[in-house]
Structure 1
Amino acid sequence: MTATADAEQAGLTELTPLADYLGSVLRRLRPLPPLEIDITQAYGNLLAEDVIAPHAFPAFDQAAIDGYAARWEDIASAGRGGQFGPTGGPSDGPGRPVRLNVVGDLGAASWRPVRLTPGTCFSVAAGSPLPNAADVVVPIDWTDQGMAAVEVFQAPKRGYGLRRAGEELPAGAVLARAGTYVTPAMVAVFAATGIGHVVVRPSPRVVIVATGDELVDVGRGSQPGQVVDANSHALTAAAAEVGALAYRVGICDDDPEGLRGLLEDQTLRADLIITTGGTGTGPGDMVRRILSRREAGRAGPVAFTEVALYPGTSLGFGTVGAEEVPVVCLPGEPGAALIGFEVLARPAIQLLAGAEPVFRPSVRAHLLETVSSPTGLREFRPAHVAERRGGGYTVQPLRGGPYTLSGLAEANGLLVLGERVTTAAAGSTVDVLLLDRRR
């Protein structure tokens, strides 16, 4: 649907406010049931329950550095009366080193329990278990690095160079709360405390279908009567950006039986289906004609609604198949499809994933250029938002308005103009949705 058609549609039809429409759709969705998965697969998922440490970390007293594990009372007098260089080693000044017998070497794989006796030490590597009675690890640079015996030139503080069992995370500690995204560092913490599986909200499986007899695959230019399918590729990327497992089915012709069969097949692997194209009321808008028709034995129709949204007023939502898989129907115009994804499909994916909040963050920004907006429609316009020196934000509308793909590609925000706004003057304060492009 073109910008002109949008305006005509707005004038002929009583439009549903966008907030009312989103509320009615999102109330019909529920987060996917929790799933226990291996921690190596958990990155990016939301935890469905608190994660409790079954074991302490570190699991045993261990050396934190390479050096010599000793009893502090045996080395306490080392270096008294002398001078030491900037690295902690001896300078040319006088000093009083302490001599200890090195009775063994310990590495990270050592497992036999050993014990220090007065006047002795062990050479230890970082991560190795500490000998019993050891309460300090002397850095190598503070010694003469001897093998059978070692001279200690300076005494660290008691407890230096070692980590006690449970010092960082005791057994029973809450490692992460439900509703937290799993990060790589969090995976390391889980593994270190003995956790191999966690219960998460699974990533929604989202299938994207582009419809229309006019569509052709990428790799060649459009000819009269042909349009290169940009939508299914863009929407697949958009679904992946929000954390979904996105599957691009490709192009489906305007064939009633073919479309029904394709959607029925996809319900077996989808938590959400997104279609693009055919949501209007024209003779070629097959998606609306097929999916809005109630048929015996089917879960129910997809409802198509004229929403006070610019661009793309016609949106569809309902369920398909015996499993009642949710389906979101977006317009075929690429700019309208991407905006429709932002305002409808993206919140739906977030809700299925159990994420909160489901909407993108927004800021109030100082508008740098006067813009006009269609009457009665909530407009989402590509824009560039920047932080102001001293605080706050500025927003610059990008050329071409909401229908230009180049503007959407450059945007890091969407300028939002309400239904009652016909003109927003330069210098006024407006709402801007922040687009996260860091993934």
Structure 2
Amino acid sequence: MTPTADAEAAVNELTPLADYLGSVLRRLRALPPLDLDLTQAYGNVLAEDVVATHSFPAFDQAAVDGYAACWEDIAGGGRGGYPPAQAGSPGGRVVRLNVVGDLGAASWRPVRLAPGACFSVAAGAPLPIGADVVVPVEWTDQGMAAVEIHRTPKRGYSVRKVGEEIPAGTLLARAGTYVSPALVAVLAATGIGHVVVRPSPRVVIVATGDELVEVGRGSQPGQVVDVNSHGLTAAAAEVGALAYRVGICDDDPEGLRGLLEDQTPRADLIITTGGTGTGPGDMVRRILSRREGNRTGPVTFTEVALYPGTALGFGTVGPEEVPVVCLPGDPGAALIGFEVLARPVINLLAGAEPVFRPGVRAHLLETISSPGGLREFRPAHVAERRGGGYTVQPLRGGPLALSGLAEANGLLVLGERVTTAAAGSTVDVLLLDRRR
């Protein structure tokens, strides 16, 4: 068999990425729901539908500072024989009303509006009975005992009616909805003090390798700065996980086993980097995939049709059967592997939908080549075109370049059958600048 034929056969033996992801995600379930106080719910995903307990606004109220009045007293013939207006300046008409009281946002006693009278009101104050309009202060002379109104508003102007925005019983959010700051405000406004959510997954990140050293120094022969545990901890936090970096684990079988035993009680997911290959120093793969009797190891390592980083591991560890994702040691491949595999796993555990990043179709700005038989994820810059649609510019250095990943707002996706993508062709792009 020729070298070319050998390479083609090796590629054909790889597991398609879609098949691999499907097999992994089908093994997982969202974390059990948790009842949380509203102040702690931000960043989680709802486990149940939420319905408004109370209306919002809860009562008829003023939308601006001004004067609460009856519209007929301002625009019509008045009520109860009171004259509606007095002569104003030659160019207009002035209405005068008696100011019989002041109402603030904390006012609670019900009051009734008499004909020809009004109340001075602050924004948010309850309206007096019989009032159907609020005249902004800037439309008046701001009088205290009596006020002159220089402009006639429409009926209902600057009035917020009870339930106008959200009536009681309204479905506020469905299960699977991300709890944003705005949603927290809506829930509070409608009387919701507790919600049932999926808890944020606790994710432990471990970097493995005898060659690794802590940050704060430069790499040199035989020593490589631990990039992955820092970058992946940040990536997990960005998804909404409670991310814990436990640092560096040497290529020591007992040390790795002990670390995993220590971490499984506090983890919903463990992510390791390094050691996923088949070389003599790839301890993670050797330890976690080891057979015990007739049983395979807890973690299965698969050669996936993915570029960069074909070797990925997934399984469970410990009596609690905590999921573990094993990513390659190269920093670029580790970050791409996180996007492709670990990120969807975290979202599934959190109950978030969809589990994958949003994508768009975009016009490619330059011709690029791609390894055949592998699905490539390449850092790129995506921009919206005037008139609609998107363009995508591949960034320098290819998928393994950290500098390109740091600049990217998208990942250009080239399928297994693509060896060359021509400028002007339409390609798939995952958007990186959107959290969920």
TM over 0.5: yes
How far 1:206 sits from its partner (Å)?
1.1
Gaps of 5+ in 2: 1-5, 77-82
Structure 1 residue 266 and structure 2 residue 263: aligned?
A: yes
Match of 1:401 in 2: 398
Q: Distance in 2 between matches of 1:277 and 1:185?
A: 40
Match of 1:22 in 2: 21
CA contact (8 A) 1:81 1:95 kept: no
Structure 1 residue 308 and structure 2 residue 305: aligned?
A: yes
How far 1:299 sits from its partner (Å)?
10
- Mark the CA change 1:98 to 1:267 in structure 2 (over 3 Å): closer, same or farther: same
Q: Distance in 1 between matches of 2:384 and 2:145?
A: 63
- Mark the CA change 1:323 to 1:156 in structure 2 (over 3 Å): closer, same or farther: same
Structure 1 residue 421 and structure 2 residue 411: aligned?
A: no
Match of 1:63 in 2: 62
- Mark the CA change 1:70 to 1:278 in structure 2 (over 3 Å): closer, same or farther: same
Please list the CA deviations of residues 179-226 of structure 1 after superposition, one character each: whole Å capped at 9, or x if unmatched. 222222221111111111112222221111001111000000112211
Please list the CA deviations of residues 258-315 of structure 1 after superposition, one character each: whole Å capped at 9, or x if unmatched. 111111221122111100001111111111111112448x995101111111111111
Q: Distance in 2 between matches of 1:390 and 1:94?
A: 48
Structure 1 residue 157 and structure 2 residue 186: aligned?
A: no
Q: Distance in 1 between matches of 2:44 and 2:282?
A: 37
The one-letter code sitting in structure 2 at the alignment partner of 1:275 is T
- Mark the CA change 1:415 to 1:136 in structure 2 (over 3 Å): closer, same or farther: closer
CA contact (8 A) 2:12 2:373 kept: no
Structure 1 residue 109 and structure 2 residue 122: aligned?
A: no
How far 1:433 sits from its partner (Å)?
2.3
CA contact (8 A) 1:43 1:184 kept: yes
Q: Distance in 2 between matches of 1:263 and 1:299?
A: 18
- Mark the CA change 1:134 to 1:25 in structure 2 (over 3 Å): closer, same or farther: same
The alignment partner of 1:58 has SS state of coil
The one-letter code sitting in structure 1 at the alignment partner of 2:50 is V
Structure 1 residue 51 and structure 2 residue 53: aligned?
A: no
Match of 1:381 in 2: 378
Please list the CA deviations of residues 310-356 of structure 1 after superposition, one character each: whole Å capped at 9, or x if unmatched. 11111100001111010000010111111111111111111112222
Please list the CA deviations of residues 364-416 of structure 1 after superposition, one character each: whole Å capped at 9, or x if unmatched. 33333333322322222222233344443333322222222112222222222
- Mark the CA change 1:73 to 1:366 in structure 2 (over 3 Å): closer, same or farther: closer
- Mark the CA change 1:252 to 1:142 in structure 2 (over 3 Å): closer, same or farther: same
The one-letter code sitting in structure 2 at the alignment partner of 1:280 is G
CA contact (8 A) 1:299 1:321 kept: no
Q: Distance in 2 between matches of 1:190 and 1:52?
A: 9
CA contact (8 A) 2:73 2:84 kept: no
Q: Distance in 1 between matches of 2:427 and 2:140?
A: 66
- Mark the CA change 1:137 to 1:275 in structure 2 (over 3 Å): closer, same or farther: same
- Mark the CA change 1:98 to 1:403 in structure 2 (over 3 Å): closer, same or farther: closer
The alignment partner of 1:268 has SS state of helix
The alignment partner of 1:93 has SS state of coil
The alignment partner of 1:97 has SS state of strand
TM-score by length of 1: 0.89
Q: Distance in 2 between matches of 1:73 and 1:200?
A: 50
The one-letter code sitting in structure 1 at the alignment partner of 2:172 is L
Q: Distance in 2 between matches of 1:141 and 1:335?
A: 60
Match of 1:86 in 2: none
Q: Distance in 2 between matches of 1:195 and 1:231?
A: 41
Identity across the alignment (%):
85
Q: Distance in 2 between matches of 1:433 and 1:254?
A: 35
- Mark the CA change 1:425 to 1:75 in structure 2 (over 3 Å): closer, same or farther: closer
Match of 1:239 in 2: 236
Per mean C-alpha deviation after superposition, the further-off stretch among 349-358 and 12-21 is 12-21
Structure 1 runs (4+) greater than 4 angstroms displaced: 7-10, 77-82
- Mark the CA change 1:370 to 1:162 in structure 2 (over 3 Å): closer, same or farther: closer
- Mark the CA change 1:98 to 1:426 in structure 2 (over 3 Å): closer, same or farther: closer
Match of 1:411 in 2: 408
Match of 2:364 in 1: 367
Match of 1:85 in 2: none
- Mark the CA change 1:137 to 1:377 in structure 2 (over 3 Å): closer, same or farther: closer
Q: Distance in 1 between matches of 2:316 and 2:415?
A: 30
The one-letter code sitting in structure 1 at the alignment partner of 2:264 is T
Structure 1 residue 169 and structure 2 residue 193: aligned?
A: no
TM-score by length of 2: 0.90
- Mark the CA change 1:366 to 1:109 in structure 2 (over 3 Å): closer, same or farther: closer
How far 1:31 sits from its partner (Å)?
1.2
Please list, as runs of the form range in 1=range in 2, the aligned pairs for 1:39-438 lying within 5 A after superposition: 39-77=38-76, 92-93=89-90, 95-295=92-292, 301-436=298-433
- Mark the CA change 1:377 to 1:357 in structure 2 (over 3 Å): closer, same or farther: same
Q: Distance in 1 between matches of 2:352 and 2:33?
A: 13
The one-letter code sitting in structure 2 at the alignment partner of 1:272 is L
- Mark the CA change 1:80 to 1:106 in structure 2 (over 3 Å): closer, same or farther: closer
Match of 2:3 in 1: none
Please list the CA deviations of residues 130-165 of structure 1 after superposition, one character each: whole Å capped at 9, or x if unmatched. 222222222223333222223334442332232222
Q: Distance in 2 between matches of 1:438 and 1:325?
A: 25
Per mean C-alpha deviation after superposition, the further-off stretch among 321-330 and 121-130 is 121-130
Q: Distance in 2 between matches of 1:67 and 1:386?
A: 46
CA RMSD of aligned residues (A): 2.6
- Mark the CA change 1:423 to 1:58 in structure 2 (over 3 Å): closer, same or farther: closer
The one-letter code sitting in structure 1 at the alignment partner of 2:300 is A
CA contact (8 A) 2:11 2:373 kept: no
Count of residues paired in the alignment: 424
How far 1:112 sits from its partner (Å)?
1.6
The one-letter code sitting in structure 2 at the alignment partner of 1:60 is F
How far 1:424 sits from its partner (Å)?
2.9
Q: Distance in 2 between matches of 1:12 and 1:141?
A: 75
The one-letter code sitting in structure 2 at the alignment partner of 1:399 is R
The one-letter code sitting in structure 1 at the alignment partner of 2:288 is L
The one-letter code sitting in structure 1 at the alignment partner of 2:37 is D
Match of 2:80 in 1: none
